[in-house]
Structure formats: structure tokens, C-alpha cells
Structure 1
Amino acid sequence: MSTAQCGQFVLLINLNEKKFQYSSKNKTSENEYSKMIVDFMNKNFETFSNPGTKGISIQMKKSIFYNWVINYYKEKKVKFFITKNNEEFLIFPIDQFHKYFDINAVYREKKSGSSRLNSSNKSDFENAMKSTNMKYDFVELDIISNEELNKMKISGKKYDYFLKKYDDTSNNKYEVRKLSNTKNANVIFSIKLLPYSIEQQAKDITMFKKEIMNKEFL
């Protein structure tokens, strides 16, 4: 199983005070484990102050990372974790996460997302499309083209743009997404499946079945 992302939160860099701050725009509330990570990074500010897109590994006890992930899913009322390994499904209580996955954390820059094309950026997109020699027509702020443009990225002077074909159309209609220029630095947790105990998996599946049965008879 390849490495997969399993959670993240944004930390803002205060260069004047030489410290990291938990962003108020995070979807998860700050907890004791994220505070431990922030404290560690503040003590090593120079190491993490310029993470770039490659990122810098956070060398802490992995139990802190595991607990952050477990806390994150428990806040979402998750009791069991289900994943697929080759053709088999693995099911285990969230508290047993460490028995199935290795975990690492990095601090790296990540672009903050995209939004629909708007009228103020339309001319920038049109100028960018001229360099591609692709033929298209606008339908409001979407485009129609007989050429294959799905997942094409176009660079304008102000922004980069991404073309996404609508799934429910037969007339080659594309949504134009404006990619953000903003890069936020995130603490990102990544996991990779460990060799696991067959006996442990059998116990965890039994526990899962009991949980389902109890709910059925409530």
C-alpha cells in the first residue's frame, strides 16, 4: 500500500516573533497534540521557518501523531477504521490505529485550492488560451470545445487555470477553475500500512461485528 495523507492543519509563520501560530481557519480545533507539535516547532523555529513545497520532516515521538489522528476521527464520531489491502478489507477500532499504520508528519507549503473563473479574470484566461491555439467558445463562464481539454492546466499572467469536463454532459462542456496563488504551510500527516497480525485483525473484526449487532438490537 502506498503512502496516503491522513489529516492536516495550517500553521502560520510569525517572522517578527519567530513563532508558529495555529490558524483560525483550520477546520479542526487546536488540541493538546497539535499544541505539542507547535511547541516543538517553536523551539526549532529556524529549522521550520522556510519549509518550501518539499517540506521538512517533524522528528517527534510518533505517539503524538497517532493521538492527533485518533482525536481527529473521534471528534467526527468515528469508532472503526476501514481500509483495503489488495483485495481484503481491514477493519479495526480507531484506538488500534498504531497496530496497522506507520505514521509521519511534515511541515510544507501547499496551495490553498481553487475557485470558479469570474468575470474579472476572464481576460487573463482568454489571453492564456491564445497561446494553446485551442478552439473553444464561452457559455457564460464555462467553455465548450471539440478538443480534449480535460485536466489541462493553463498558465496566465495573473493565475493558473484548470479545465474540468462536466460528467453529465455530451457537448464537451468544461468548468474553468482558477488556481490559488496563496501557499499556506501545513502540518501534514502521512500513513503507510504496516505488516499486521492476522490474530489481531480477527479480534478487531469480531469487535466490529459485536458493535453492529448491538446497534441492531437497540
Structure 2
Amino acid sequence: MENWQICEAECLQYLKKNFSDSRYDFEAEGGSDSTKSDILLTKSGIAIFYIESKMKQAQCGQFVAFPNTDTNSFEYSKGNAYSENIQTSFILDKMAEDFDKYKNPDTDGIELLIDKRCFYSWICEFYKSKGVKYFIIEKEVGSKNLSQNNFIIFPIEHFHKYFDVTALYRRKKSGSSNPTEHDYTEIKKAAASEGFAIKDIYKSGKYVFVKMNAEPITYKIIGEMHTYQYKPETNGIFKVTKLSNTSNPNVIFSISLIQDQQERDLEKFRLEFN
């Protein structure tokens, strides 16, 4: 599991342990689907609000924007999952004021030297649009420490008190997807090109798995049309993911924890269960 997956699982476990009862419960929702938030609070089976889990240093939202050399401006991509808002327009306008600096981003990225209040506003509006009311932060991920001092909970409106935020404009692969049956032939050929004979290929839920004789490490193999990731599970089973071949320029927000738990914020969360 990736660290963010461990963080989400341990945050869910912490919430269930400390706040679940006969009426209130928590469900994992987001996973790798960036259009959904991580954890849903329900009351008697009815959705109440979402809680976003984060590590103490993490990415925290992004959007694709393309440079337009004809107008010396930046255009919000129609492929973004969310509509452009006031904060987005402000950021792109500020970037356009120094167009030559930002017009050719690479994978390392160019830091946006813009008032951070705009970044905070963008992040809050982004997560509010997904129904998020609180954040939960795990300070030491994977330590199996479910004590209160390893977690921080606060309402979204206090996000700026807990995190420093920076933003980069950089090129980034546009994501991954689960293969379909139409990809099976290419998946087999790609593996064979590296000397791996696939004994079985099948779908379980929404995921595709293969059984092959290979060392239990993650492989990224370029096929005829796509690049595939083969990630080890157990006993020669690998989960296959189709990786994007597109590298789009993204505005990417990153956060770093600067504040420990404030009791008034934790108390506000507790009051949700009265």
C-alpha cells in the first residue's frame, strides 16, 4: 500500500474506534478517485458530511491549465473535474502577468509566487465542493499509533491555521485507470516483452490481476499503445494499472503541517455527535 492509503486506513480506524456508536459510523469513500473525499460520516445510515485525511506533508488539490502563446495567458482545461472558480481565475491571471516565467513548465515545476491567501481559499473551496467539513491529519503514518496525540482534527475553515501551503506549476502524468478486457492482449504482450509469461488474467471487482512468474516488485512496462504497472499482491499475483501517456501542465498545491491540535477544534468535532 502507498503511504496515503495507509494514512486513510489508519484515520478511518481511529475515527471508528473513538467516535462510532449505534447511530454514527464512518465509511471509506475516496480511495484513488480524486473526485470523492476520503471518509464519509453517516448517521443511522444517512450521509452527513465528508472528512478528508492527510499526512503532515502532502499534495492537496490540483488543476490542469494550458499556456496560450497567442494571448500570453493560461487557460483552465475543460478536462478538469471541477468548474473554474474565482480563486482559479485569480491564480491564472497572476501567472499571465509573468507569462514568460511560467509558460514552459517541466516535471520539476516552477513555484507560484502569489499571495498564499488565494491558495488557502482555493483549497477550501475545492474540498467544500466535495462535501468536506473536517480534515483529519495523521502525524506518523504506519506507526500503528492510534492514540489521540498522533491525530489532528479541525474544521475546514481553520485549514490556514494548521498548514503552510505552496504551489507549483509543473508537468505531471494525468493519472491512471483500470484496464478493460480490450487491454488484455496488450497486457500479455507487454509482460512477454520483459520475459514474463502470464498464466492467468482476470478481473475482480473493478481491478485487473495477472498471475505470472516474476520477482514480487513493481514493474512499469511500455506496451504498443499504453504503459502498464504490474504491482505485486500475493503468491505471484500482480494488480495491473494502465498508466497515462499524457503529461499535462498542472497547478499543484502542497501542504506542510505547522500547528498541533487545538482543543477547541477537537471539541467542535465531538459536538457533531451529540
TM-score range, shorter chain: 0.7 to 0.9
Check conservation: 2:109, 2:168, Cα contact below 8 A: yes
| Cα distance in 2 between the residues matched to 1:39 and 1:74 | 23
1:46 paired residue number: 100
| TM value normalised by structure 1 | 0.81
1:180 paired residue number: 244
Check conservation: 2:200, 2:212, Cα contact below 8 A: no
| Cα distance in 2 between the residues matched to 1:13 and 1:157 | 30
Structure 2: 5+ residue runs without aligned partners?
Answer: 1-54, 141-148, 203-207
| Cα distance in 2 between the residues matched to 1:49 and 1:121 | 39
Check conservation: 2:188, 2:197, Cα contact below 8 A: no
Q: Tell me which structure has the larger Cα radius of gyration.
A: 1
Q: Does residue 1:154 correspond to 2:216, yes or no?
A: no
| Cα distance in 2 between the residues matched to 1:187 and 1:153 | 26
1:113 paired residue number: 175
| Cα distance in 2 between the residues matched to 1:2 and 1:81 | 11
Check conservation: 1:57, 1:107, Cα contact below 8 A: yes
| Cα distance in 2 between the residues matched to 1:114 and 1:207 | 38
| Cα distance in 2 between the residues matched to 1:80 and 1:2 | 15
Count of paired positions:
206
Check conservation: 1:136, 1:143, Cα contact below 8 A: yes
| TM value normalised by structure 2 | 0.66
Check conservation: 1:150, 1:174, Cα contact below 8 A: no
Q: CA deviation at 1:125?
A: 6.0
1:15–1:120: structure 2 CA closer, same or farther, 3 Å change rule?
Answer: farther
1:77–1:161: structure 2 CA closer, same or farther, 3 Å change rule?
Answer: closer
- 2:238 is paired with a residue whose SS is strand
2:86 paired residue number: 32
Q: CA deviation at 1:80?
A: 1.8
Offset from partner CA, 1:121-162 (integer Å, 9 cap, x none): 845862x44453233335478642132355211234654221
Matches within 5 A, 1:90-109: 90-109=152-171
2:231 paired residue number: 164
1:176–1:204: structure 2 CA closer, same or farther, 3 Å change rule?
Answer: closer
Q: Does residue 1:208 correspond to 2:262, yes or no?
A: no
Check conservation: 1:149, 1:163, Cα contact below 8 A: no
1:34–1:55: structure 2 CA closer, same or farther, 3 Å change rule?
Answer: same
Give the partner amino acid of 1:30.
E
Decide which of 123, 138, 146 is 1:69's aligned counterpart: 123
Higher RCO (C-alpha 8 Å, min separation 6): 1
Check conservation: 1:83, 1:89, Cα contact below 8 A: yes
- 1:212 is paired with a residue whose SS is coil
- 2:124 is paired with a residue whose SS is helix
Q: Percent identity?
A: 41
| Cα distance in 2 between the residues matched to 1:179 and 1:129 | 15
| Cα distance in 2 between the residues matched to 1:22 and 1:53 | 19
2:145 paired residue number: none
Decide which of 241, 249, 255 is 1:191's aligned counterpart: 255
Q: Does residue 1:137 correspond to 2:183, yes or no?
A: no
1:123–1:75: structure 2 CA closer, same or farther, 3 Å change rule?
Answer: closer
